[in-house]
């Protein structure tokens, strides 16, 4: 029996400690809207100004209208429709995000690949009828999945997919970009403390009034939304998680999740349940969380050791957790344990 599970709730619980005590209780501090395929939650702490919320959600929708593959006529849909046929002029931000996606594709040796579109469609992972395709079907689609066949022309600001049938999917990076953009609007509006949570892509903005770090919960992969296994403490920055629980279906007792191995053409195998990346940029953290998940712990950890200012928390199936040296992580669930090499 095919059972499809996709929760629309908020991906990671953002724990906000003492700052809450200083809130003006007559203001509504949080705003949640459904966008980019998830619940987007923004909290402006010191001034919950209506026009700032409006600007943030307006801009998030603008980004969705350019980058989504679930809406008609977005820039990305136009690129995909012209695959193998013609370069497509796109908006500045779309070009920049695709450029960054290509950068992370190269950096991760193709573990992160924005041309996974045909695999996402074949497995139907984001639709109502997901299914396990045959090996022949996978083999037929695999030649279409290769970031090297993206041709970027910065002068013309065009994007060309060289092979008919290729398709971009920015699902692993666009939310991070949108979170960074939202944080930019917060700064411009001179709001001193805010949290932006786009379905688990979290940016903390500003230093808390009591000068302590923000506390961001890491979702328990085995439990319902908002149940966390530990806390990451951060000053300003991004905390982004990719996990098997985010979108998945089950067939014959096997769980198939939405993080694909671009070389195998199936959900990335391994012993990881989630990877959380801490970085300055949510866009980078978003791409990297997917990349590290697909690479697996050994290769993923080796990669972040080469990157300054990037940290990660790896959660394994056996409930062990591995934390990179710069991450300030505090375990709260005693069923899990921190593995020391
Ligand atoms: P989430 O969207 O659940 O927060 P991710 O940021 O990891 O998680 O993005 C997962 C989405 O990215 C998938 O739904 C799919 O659209 C796309 N994707 C899946 N595998 C890859 C991959 N190896 N490289 C790039 N994008 C991927
Ligand atoms: Mg991601």
Give the position, in ligand 1's atom list, of the atom nearest the Cα of 111: 23
| pLDDT on residue 341 | 67
At 96, which helix (H) or strand (E)?
helix 92-107
Report whether residue 246 contacts ligand 1, using a CB cutoff of 6 Å.
Answer: yes
As given in the structure block, the two tokens for residue 109 are: 């040796």
DSSP state of 268: P
| pLDDT on residue 28 | 53
Region of 206 on the Ramachandran plot (φ > 0 left; ψ -120 to 50 alpha; else beta):
left
As given in the structure block, the two tokens for residue 183 are: 């944080």
Q: Which ligand is nearest to the CA of 243?
A: 1
Contact in structure between 240 and 178 (CB atoms under 8 Å):
no
218-247 pLDDT, tens digit per residue, is 999 888 778 899 999 999 999 999 998 777
| pLDDT on residue 10 | 33
Residue 71 CA, ligand 2 centroid: distance in Å? 20
| pLDDT on residue 33 | 96
Contact in structure between 29 and 233 (CB atoms under 8 Å):
no
Report whether residue 171 contacts ligand 1, using a CB cutoff of 6 Å.
Answer: yes
Given the structure tokens 């290509």, which residue do they identify? 102
Give the position, in ligand 1's atom list, of the atom nearest the Cα of 114: 25
Residue 210 CA, ligand 2 centroid: distance in Å? 31
Low-confidence ranges of the chain (pLDDT < 70): 1-28, 341
| pLDDT on residue 2 | 37
Contact in structure between 226 and 311 (CB atoms under 8 Å):
no
Give the position, in ligand 1's atom list, of the atom nearest the Cα of 290: 7
Report whether residue 249 contacts ligand 1, using a CB cutoff of 6 Å.
Answer: no
3-30 pLDDT, tens digit per residue, is 333 333 333 333 433 333 334 444 557 9
CA distance linking residue 93 with residue 105, whole number of Å? 18
Report whether residue 114 contacts ligand 1, using a CB cutoff of 6 Å.
Answer: yes
DSSP state of 242: E
| pLDDT on residue 248 | 80
**CA-based torsion, 316, 321, 327, 332: positive or negative:** positive
Task: Give, for ligand 1, the residue of 171, 246, 292 to mutate: max count of ligand atoms closer than 8 Å to Cβ.
Answer: 171
Given the structure tokens 């671009």, which residue do they identify? 262
What is the full DSSP assignment across 168-194? ---TTTHHHHHHHHHHHHHHHTT-SSE
| pLDDT on residue 184 | 98
| pLDDT on residue 8 | 31
Q: Which ligand is nearest to the CA of 108?
A: 1
Task: Give, for ligand 1, the residue of 168, 172, 178 to mutate: max count of ligand atoms closer than 8 Å to Cβ.
Answer: 172
Give the residue extent of every domain in the chain.
Answer: 2-50+191-338
Q: How many residues comprise the chain?
A: 341
Q: Which fold has domain 2-50+191-338?
A: T-fold (3.10.520)
| pLDDT on residue 83 | 98
DSSP state of 157: T
Contact in structure between 340 and 331 (CB atoms under 8 Å):
no
Residue ranges with strand state E in 7-90 = 14-15, 30-35, 38-44, 88-89
Q: What are phi and psi of 235, to 5 degrees?
A: -80, -150
Residue 170 CA, ligand 1 centroid: distance in Å? 8
């Amino acid at each position: 029996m095919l059972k499809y599970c996709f929760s629309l709730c908020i991906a990671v619980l953002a724990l906000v400690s003492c700052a809450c005590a200083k809130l003006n209780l007559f203001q509504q501090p949080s705003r949640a809207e459904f966008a980019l395929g998830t619940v987007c939650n923004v909290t402006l702490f010191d001034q919950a100004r209506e026009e700032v919320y409006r600007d943030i959600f307006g801009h998030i929708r603008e980004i969705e209208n350019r980058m989504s593959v679930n809406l008609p006529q977005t820039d990305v849909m136009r690129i995909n429709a012209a695959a193998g046929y013609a370069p497509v002029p796109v908006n500045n931000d779309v070009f920049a995000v695709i450029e960054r996606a290509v950068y992370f594709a190269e950096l991760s040796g193709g573990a992160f690949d924005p041309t996974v579109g045909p695999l996402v469609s074949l497995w139907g992972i984001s639709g109502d009828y997901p299914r396990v395709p045959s090996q022949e079907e996978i083999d037929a689609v695999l030649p279409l999945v290769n970031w090297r066949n993206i041709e970027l022309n910065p002068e013309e600001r065009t994007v060309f997919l060289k092979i008919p049938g290729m398709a971009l999917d920015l699902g692993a990076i666009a939310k991070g970009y949108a979170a960074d953009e939202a944080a930019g609007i917060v700064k411009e509006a001179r709001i001193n403390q805010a949290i932006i949570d786009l379905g688990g892509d979290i940016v903390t903005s500003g230093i808390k009034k009591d000068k302590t770090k923000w506390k961001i919960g890491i979702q328990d992969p085995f439990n319902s939304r908002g149940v966390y296994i530990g806390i990451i403490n951060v000053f300003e920055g991004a905390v982004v998680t990719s996990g098997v629980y985010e979108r998945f279906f089950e067939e014959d007792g096997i769980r198939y999740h939405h993080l694909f191995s671009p070389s195998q053409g199936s959900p990335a195998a391994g012993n990881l349940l989630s990877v959380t990346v801490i970085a300055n940029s949510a866009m980078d953290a978003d791409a990297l969380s997917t990349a590290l998940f697909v690479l697996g712990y050994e290769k993923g950890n080796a990669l972040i050791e080469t990157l300054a200012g990037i940290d990660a928390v790896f959660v394994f199936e056996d409930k062990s957790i591995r934390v990179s040296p710069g991450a300030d992580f505090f375990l709260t669930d005693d069923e899990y344990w921190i593995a020391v090499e």
